[in-house]
Structure 1
């Protein structure tokens, strides 16, 4: 039964050079057509058996969902409540850019039912914002955060660090500035050069050189120290929150609970099934018109594959995973799916902790997450 609903809005005003998300720049969009398609896609998810348990969270991601008309957001939330019902205290998050135009919609979005906003600030340095291809300035971002805090009960914002040439002094000053704003949640991402992005082309052409791994690791350690001291410890590799302010929607993913995903390119994991929607907006609209849903691929996941995915996402969390609990849940010997020799090695090196059946990466191990997962999780499970 679905515990969470993800709604993808694919449109942006411009494509950021670091972004590999499913986002598209279009001169215009037929809002009536999009409302009809998203509502139809949502009803399909409820009709095929994903309904039955009230939703604990809804997340509008993108793209830039703050470009959606508040009336469309309200219509989608009304239908979601009709189809599934809302659990008490449901978390409803919308990603937003901190432009003055979008911030002007915050009051209407709050009235529509949004109670948590995640702002793509990325930096408080104007030169860095220009490098990152952002359309807002630092002062505009600060005003947007203040506006969000006035309208939403919970506010988070993103920053990107480990930028070319960034040193510890500069990042410490920027992060301390961010912590002083007083939000209960921060998403702090190291700049990653993703394939098929403009930054990947820039690096290949020698336009800039990414920050060295060792210096990025130093900034990661500094980030953990400063956020913990400020009362926002890391609960996931890149996410930091006051206790109780963690993103409940993202915890659904990382704890591998059921969720539905609608909209172009959205992924879902309802009831042991993997679903993927058509990525291109025009193809998505056409599919919904023809078939009553936007699904491009759907397949049933076996127990071992679900256990594999649960391991891979669960070890991103500071709390780690409980192998015995996963074994009971999926009826597979989860501990046997781990390379116990490598687990012992990384535990002795101080990169992992193992207390009973609970396995977690340490602060020293987190920067090496991908490499460690490739070593300790069985090869066939990583491929899954």
Structure 2
């Protein structure tokens, strides 16, 4: 059976820059602090080499988005960004005007550097603002203050066609009134996209140890659910509805790259710790790169890539991932595509129960979506459907 495209899932290229000026206490991403200057020219050459290796594996493709994430990509020189983007274009077809996003932290923002990124081809910036009050910024371990965050937002609005910024909510002691006011303020600065994440405690982070030691508490599940519902209400009221569980945009301004993930498209991951998922020899292949930057660059120089792990997914695993990613979206999933991946339809009995509980809803005859209530317990919904 031919698997139908689900609203053009796309083919993305993800570049991971692993270095940060400081490690935030909540962060479990692959990020590293170095107290000596990073040899950016060496890393740029390694990115170019690994991109060429990935091109040999994927064959010719048309890229639909490029994303430079981290870490803190705004610590990269514009020349480094330019070299990487040129390498992507050398290996695959890159149409004019596709989305090219770079993540930036307000503490590393400079007007000249932003203009350099724009000249290199970046047309969308995602700023890690995280909070709009200085007390919570200090709690979150951020290096910037509110004044610097607003300065960065202003620069980004002036220089780039598209801008998004992140906020973390459900912070210790945060009331609905306080979050509502902060969210209203954020929407006043937003251009067309906001990413709004509830604070979660990730194992292995400093926050995990502090939380276990009861140094701080988080809102309970009911309070967190109320904050989530408030978030949906306020953003939708301002024309920034949720198109994904944590992402809000004006229609047409959704992150094309992240939609590739959620619509279960294909993407190449390049750089330390980067993951990729693409079809190779007719099967969806997972690649996982070495996490330690210096080890990764040595591997690339020795054998052309830094991939140290991965697997070929079974059809059942593909179907489960498709469910998990697609039900995060307000548009939901294409039921025909799920059936093509899994070889079976979803259980009508389980669907009936979940619909009666108000956790999922049909979209016409062809799609299924999670409701607002279902989004709050999405992992449980997916686990039930995948059985």
TM range (shorter): over 0.9
339-348 or 270-279, larger mean C-alpha shift = 339-348
Instruction: Judge conservation of contact 1:227–1:240 (CA < 8 Å) in 2.
Output: yes
Asked whether 1:31 is paired with 2:13, we answer: no
CA distance in 2, matches of 1:220, 1:155: 23
Partner SS for 1:72 = helix
User: Which residue matches 1:305?
Assistant: 317
Question: Within the alignment, does 1:292 sit opposite 2:301 as a pair?
Answer: no
* 1:370 to 1:2, Cα distance in 2 relative to 1, 3 A: closer
Residue number in structure 1 paired with 2:285 = 273
1: CA distance, partners of 2:322 / 2:245 = 16
Aligned runs of 1:1-384 on 2, under 5 Å? 3-27=11-35, 28-48=37-57, 50-99=58-107, 101-271=109-279, 272-328=284-340, 330=341, 332-335=342-345, 338-354=346-362, 355-378=364-387
**Superposed CA offset, 1:48-82 (max 9, x none):** 2x141221100000000000110000011111112
User: What is the total number of aligned residue pairs between the two structures?
Assistant: 373
1:382 maps to: none
Q: CA deviation at 1:357?
A: 3.5
Quote the RMSD (CA, aligned, Å).
Answer: 1.5
1:101 deviates by 4.2
- Tell me, in whole angstroms, the C-alpha distance in 2 between the residues paired with 1:145 and 1:53: 34
Q: Alpha-carbon deviation of 1:108?
A: 0.7
- How far apart are 1:211 and its partner, in Å? 1.4
CA distance in 1, matches of 2:119, 2:203: 39
Instruction: Please tell me whether the aligned partners of residues 74 and 108 of structure 2 are also in contact (alpha carbons under 8 angstroms).
Output: no
> Quick check: 237-246 or 75-84, which moved more?
75-84
SS at match of 2:232: helix
Q: Provide the TM-score with structure 1 as the length reference.
A: 0.94
Q: Structure 1, residues 345-370: CA drift from partner, whole Å, max 9, x if none?
A: 12112111024231110112111111
Partners of 1:186 and 1:239 within 8 A in 2: yes
SS in 2 for 1:260: strand
Cα deviations across residues 227-266 of structure 1 (Å, max 9, x unaligned)?
A: 1110010000000000000000000000011110000110
List 4+ stretches of structure 1 deviating above 6 A. Answer: none
- Structure 2 unaligned regions, length at least 5: 1-8
